[in-house]
Every structure is written in C-alpha cells, then in structure tokens.
Structure 1
Amino acid sequence: MKKTMKSLLMVGTMVLGMGMLATGCGKDTASTGGEKDVYVVGTDASYAPFESMSGEKIEGFDVDVLNAAAEAGGFKVEYVNTPWDGIFLALKNGERDIVASAVTITDERKETFDFSDPYFEATQMIVAKSGSGIKSLADLKGKKVAVQNSTTGDEVVSNLLGKDSQDVKRFDNMPLALLELKNGGVDAAVGDNGVVLEYVKNNGSEGLETTVDSSFVKENYGFVVAKGNAELQKKLNDGIKKIKDSGKLAEIEKQYGFTK
C-alpha cells in the first residue's frame, strides 16, 4: 500500500479527528518524554490480511510481525485503529509512535519519516473476471479499473490510462475497489498482491483471474517512525533481525500463506 506523502498530509488534517473516534485497542495518543514503556502503533484496520478488525481487536500479519519483533526486542506496543488518510499526520504530530499498516518504503516517504528494515516484499496485482481477456497491464487500456485512491495501484493505472481518465475509479480502501469489481462496475482492479489474494481466497477463486505484469516492481514494507527517532528505529530493526534469524518471521509468513 503506497500513497504519496503530499496527498496524505494534505487530507490528514481533515480526517485525523475522525481517526481518534475509530475503534481501536489501547490509548489514543503516544506517551511523551524519554524512553517509553509502551509504544502506540497506528494501523488502518481495513486492509486484510495485513490488518483488520476482529470484534474489538486489531489483528493481521503486520500485527503478528510487530508483536514478535517487540517481544524479541524487549519493548511493548499497543494498537489504535487510525484511518489511512490521517495515519502519517498522527505520527508526525506525535500521536502515534509507529505506523504499521502495510507501508511501502519509498524515497519520498524517507524524506519525511524513518523506516525500519523491510519485513515483507509485495508487488502489484491485477484481478479481473475470468474470460475478460485481461492478462497484462496493457490489456487494461480502454477498460474501467478500480484502485485505492493515491496508492501504488492508482499510480500504475493512472500512468497507463491518464490521471484524469474517467476509466479510473478510485475508492477510499481496497475492499471497496474489489467490491466494485465483484458488482460489475469495473472490468478489473489493481492493488497489492497480499490484499488481492486474500479477497480472492475469501470470495471464491472461481470467476476471477489474477496476474502480475512483468513491469510491476517489488515493494518492501517497513514500520514507520518519526524522522530522527533513531532509538525506536534501532529497537525495531533489532527485533526484526532476531525474528528473521530465529525463523519466527518465516513461521508467520507461512501462517498467512506468504511463503515463497
């Protein structure tokens, strides 16, 4: 999931207040001063299998990985469900200590925030109805395509069809984009492979086809911290290294079907 920082920080001020009212776990604001007993983690719990709500609890791949890294690194975390459009502003304002929300590491983001070492490799994926003839990115020309607003998928499709093309249908989250495909409102959808595959698995693979275009580059997810927070960045990196070395990360990947 990759959004441009300019678009996120511009709209973040408007939606952050709503984010404080969202259902979550733990405190709504990060603690202040010195080394912290518990780090407050912002996550947009609408992006299964990486983060989603189960009753009052936030769960998913990112949560399991960060919990394991925190345990290995000797620190504690708690989660607050934070809308994606306000999540980086919450981090910038100190209301969150960490963002764990399938965030792609990019040069643009690194100008404003610091990242942990990568913990997951993703790529974009096209999903369309069987028999559509859509087998590559080029096949989307002249088609109506659903994407999550201001994400990598949006960028890829906009570059192909034109940013202002009426054939690009943008949604606040990927589940809504995929629902539009299911309902026949578009010919295809483009999004992160993990989310697309989770949707196909839960909605039946029959009638749907997925493909990864050769032009799609690999994307690395990382946990995000405030710029200059080297102490927390090091804790995250130490924890990630330990769960990689111990095989715990591979175990979690297998649990979610992410084994290579």
Structure 2
Amino acid sequence: MFNKKTGFMMMLLLAFSIVLAACGSEDSSSGTEGDKGYSKLLVGTEATFAPFESMNDKGEIIGIDVDVMNAIGAEIEAEVEFKNVGWEPVFQQVTNKELDLGASGITITDERKQTYDFTNPYYEATLMIVVKEDSPIATLAEIEDKKIAVQINTTGHEAAKKLQGVGSSKILAYENQPIAFQEVINGTAAAAIGDNAVVLEYLKNNPKSGLKAIESSEFEKEYYGFMVKKGNKELLDLLNEGLQKIKDNGKLEEITGQKID
C-alpha cells in the first residue's frame, strides 16, 4: 500500500535534487568552461608596471599585457577580465585558484617553474640600472657596496642579491617599481634595478625626474610568460594555442613591437 508520508519525503528529495542540479549548472566567476575550453579568464596583475599594465584616468587597466591577453582571448573565444591585485598576491591567488592566470610582466625563471607553469614567451626583456642624472655610477660593479632599490621578488631583486649577497641590508625591496625609482630620487638609494621597458617608460613619462638609465652587458636576456597554476595543462595548452595564432598572424608583433619565436 502507498505510504503518504513516504511519498511526501520522496517528492521533497526529488525537488531538492533538481535545485542542486540547477545550482551546479551555473557558471563560476572564473575558469568557466565553455564548448571550446574556458569561456572566461580571470587574470591577475599589478597595475603600476607600465607599459605592460597601468591604470588610466577612467580606472581601467591598460597596457601591453592587457592587449596581448585580449588578442589571445579573441582567438580562443574567451572573455578576459583583469583584476589589479598587487604583485605578490598575483602568485598567491593563482595558487589558490582565485585567479586563472597571472599577467604582470612575469619573467620565466627556473625557480618559478617549480611552482607554476608558464606559456611560451611573448616578450624579451633585460634589466637596467637607474641612477640620478649627475651620478658618477656607470657600471653594475659600482653599486656593489651601495643601497639598491628594487621591486620585491622580481628579477631585479635577484640581480641585487646576486651582486651583494642574499642577506645584504643595502637591498631595499618595495611592493612596486615606481616606489623603487622614487627612492633614488629621494636619495635613499644610490640606484635602482628594473626591467628595461619599464625603466624607459618611466623616464619618458617623468622627464623631470632627474634620473637616467644605464645598460649593462652583465644582465642576461629575460622572457615574459603568462603564469598558471602548476599542472593546469588544459588552460596552458589553450593559452599557447592562442599565443601561437597571434604570433603567426602578426598581432603579437604589432602590440609589443617585437618579433619573438
């Protein structure tokens, strides 16, 4: 005989299952998988790194990385959303899956590859020294015993540690590159070390800064890549697919001014 109480409970369970299924079908805020992979990509950056990323007067994130990622997104049919989270949080939030990837002029290094995966390179860079215009400093060796300002946990920071030693108290590390340049202007540091495109962009935008840039053959070439969580092969392959397409059609060279294999 049919039990009314049992029937009622079965109807409740069925209704609850339908609700759960409906909730599970909704898109997440990032890493939303569509028919051809990810339909939306949440990208973390540190937007004081012009010309790669900066904020315009409207509060929008603009720059080379934004243009390259948007071009890739168009090729792989994915919407791209940038979030200005800060330099170190980019790494933390990619690890925690709060972001799908990091795009912030990130140099591909062996140390970083132990924790993250990187796309193929999309930009070639090198480091430069920044000093006051009237400074007698002309070589890397001349700042070996002087205070050096850098952006924390960047290749510029690593170069300073290589020059002076990991525990040197004369290395002044800051959250972003403009602060490091300002410390040279203030006289707190004798020099700063930063990526060439960023240094030259800063000097162009601040012609009265009283700073100059110095090249050094002792700095090795660096290559930027987009960074994803270690093991996220699906997203990595998708990004590399889009990147290769904009290399082949000339869009990458148009954006960066470089031709890179």
Q: Which SS does the other structure have where 2:54 is aligned? A: strand
Q: Which SS does the other structure have where 1:166 is aligned? A: coil
What CA distance in whole angstroms lies between the structure 2 residues aligned with 1:106 and 1:198?
A: 24
1:216 aligns with 2:232: no
8 Å CA contact 1:127–1:210 kept in 2: the answer is yes
1:5-44 counterparts in 2 under 5 A? 30-31=30-31, 35-44=37-46
Select 2:159's aligned residue among 139, 151, 156. 156
- Amino acid of the residue matched to residue 100 of structure 1? A
Instruction: State the match for 2:15 in structure 1.
Output: none
What CA distance in whole angstroms lies between the structure 2 residues aligned with 1:205 and 1:69?
A: 37
1:200 aligns with 2:200: no
Q: TM-score, normalised by structure 1?
A: 0.81
Instruction: State the match for 2:24 in structure 1.
Output: none
RMSD: 2.3
What CA distance in whole angstroms lies between the structure 2 residues aligned with 1:206 and 1:103?
A: 26
Q: 1:112 to 1:142 in 2, by over 3 A?
A: closer
Residue-by-residue CA offset, 1:130-177 (whole Å, 9 max, x unaligned): 232222110113322211122211121122223333322221111100
1:128 aligns with 2:140: no
Q: Which SS does the other structure have where 1:36 is aligned? A: strand
Instruction: State the match for 2:25 in structure 1.
Output: none
Residue-by-residue CA offset, 1:84-110 (whole Å, 9 max, x unaligned): 122112111111111111111112222
Q: 1:77 to 1:216 in 2, by over 3 A?
A: same
Q: TM-score, normalised by structure 2?
A: 0.81
Instruction: State the match for 2:117 in structure 1.
Output: 114
- Amino acid of the residue matched to residue 30 of structure 2? A
Cα displacement (A) at 1:204: 1.0
In structure 1, the gaps of 5 or more residues are 1-27
Select 1:50's aligned residue among 31, 48, 52. 52
8 Å CA contact 1:29–1:95 kept in 2: the answer is no
Q: Which SS does the other structure have where 2:223 is aligned? A: strand
Residue-by-residue CA offset, 1:32-64 (whole Å, 9 max, x unaligned): 667432111111112111111123311111001
What CA distance in whole angstroms lies between the structure 2 residues aligned with 1:101 and 1:207?
A: 27
Q: 1:159 to 1:31 in 2, by over 3 A?
A: closer
- Amino acid of the residue matched to residue 251 of structure 2? K
Cα displacement (A) at 1:259: 8.0
8 Å CA contact 1:43–1:80 kept in 2: the answer is yes
Task: Report percent identity of matched pairs.
Answer: 48
1:101 aligns with 2:108: no
Q: Which SS does the other structure have where 1:210 is aligned? A: strand
Q: How many residues align?
A: 231
Q: 1:108 to 1:168 in 2, by over 3 A?
A: closer
8 Å CA contact 2:46–2:85 kept in 1: the answer is yes
8 Å CA contact 2:185–2:211 kept in 1: the answer is no
